[in-house]
């Protein structure tokens, strides 16, 4: 199967309200261009350096999403162009994104990463930390003019157990609904990013509005 065919097939299965992020990490520019020529405009990378290298040589109507864990000291390299940062899990990181966005006269959209998995290796905020972070940003709006919190992101446990994954996705959807409904929801939370190649259909049925798919488009890494 070609990349273009894979892409068309996946897109035909996605409801209209779900955004597809093509996870292109470790893939060469030629592969990304094949997806681009087939109409894909949103790409997700997990290393800032690699994403920046690709951004420099690829068409400028692409939306670049940072989907990996972000190191604070690397934010400056993607601040001029990144469209959405998926893995924001601390106030310190948010402050740095705001600072670098301001230097570039930009407002950068962010998703807050919520910890839903039963694995030690996953990053993210628990519910209480999420609430506190939102409260702090709300109270200190003046200092966060260059970021927008537009939604939440979560990664389910890496397991074959579909019930477990479904439970985690539904839990994140409940948290999302609570945040979206709160009176002081910052900048209208509308994106719920959950679901990858192996579990995106389940994620969509649980309320996801953005899925991150790599191997089903580009072949396994």
pLDDT at position 184, please? 64
Per-residue pLDDT, averaged over 141-158, amounts to 94
Query: CB within 8 A of 219, min separation 6: which ones?
Result: 3
For the chain, the domain total comes to 1
Secondary structure (3-state) at 156: coil
pLDDT at 182: 81
CATH, residue 26: 3.20.20.10
How confident is residue 181, by pLDDT bands cut at 50, 70 and 90? Answer: confident
Q: In Å, what is the CA distance from 20 to each residue of 15, 56, 122, 152, 191?
A: 10, 22, 22, 16, 12
Q: What is the arithmetic mean of pLDDT over 102-109?
A: 98
Question: What per-residue confidence (pLDDT) applies to 102?
Answer: 98
Q: What is the mean pLDDT of residues 216-220?
A: 89
pLDDT interval class at 123 (50, 70, 90): confident
- What is the domain range of residue 16? 3-218
Question: With contact defined as beta carbons under 8 Å apart, do 46 and 68 qualify?
Answer: yes
**H or E element in which residue 28 lies:** none
What digits encode the pLDDT tens for the residues 15-36?
999 999 999 999 999 999 999 9
Is pLDDT at 121 greater than 90 in this prediction?
A: no
């Amino acid at each position: 199967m070609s990349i273009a065919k894979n892409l068309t097939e996946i897109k035909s299965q996605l409801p209209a309200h779900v955004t597809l992020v093509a996870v292109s990490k470790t893939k060469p520019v030629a592969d990304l261009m094949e997806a681009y020529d087939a109409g894909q405009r949103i790409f997700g990378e997990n290393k800032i350096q690699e994403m920046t290298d690709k951004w420099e040589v690829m068409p400028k109507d692409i939306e670049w999403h940072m989907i990996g864990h972000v190191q604070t000291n690397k934010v400056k390299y993607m601040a001029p162009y990144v469209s959405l940062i998926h893995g924001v899990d601390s106030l310190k990181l948010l402050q740095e994104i705001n600072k670098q966005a301001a230097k570039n006269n930009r407002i950068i959209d962010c998703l807050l990463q919520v910890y839903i998995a039963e694995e030690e290796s996953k990053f993210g905020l628990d519910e209480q930390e999420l609430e506190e972070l939102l409260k702090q940003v709300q109270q200190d709006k003046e200092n966060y003019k260059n970021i927008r919190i537009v939604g939440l992101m979560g990664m389910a446990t890496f397991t074959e157990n579909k019930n477990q994954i479904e439970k985690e996705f539904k839990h994140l959807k409940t948290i999302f609904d609570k945040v979206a409904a709160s009176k002081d929801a910052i900048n209208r939370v509308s994106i719920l990013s959950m679901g990858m190649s192996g579990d995106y259909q389940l994620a969509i049925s649980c309320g996801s509005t953005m899925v991150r798919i790599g191997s089903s488009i580009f072949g396994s890494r």
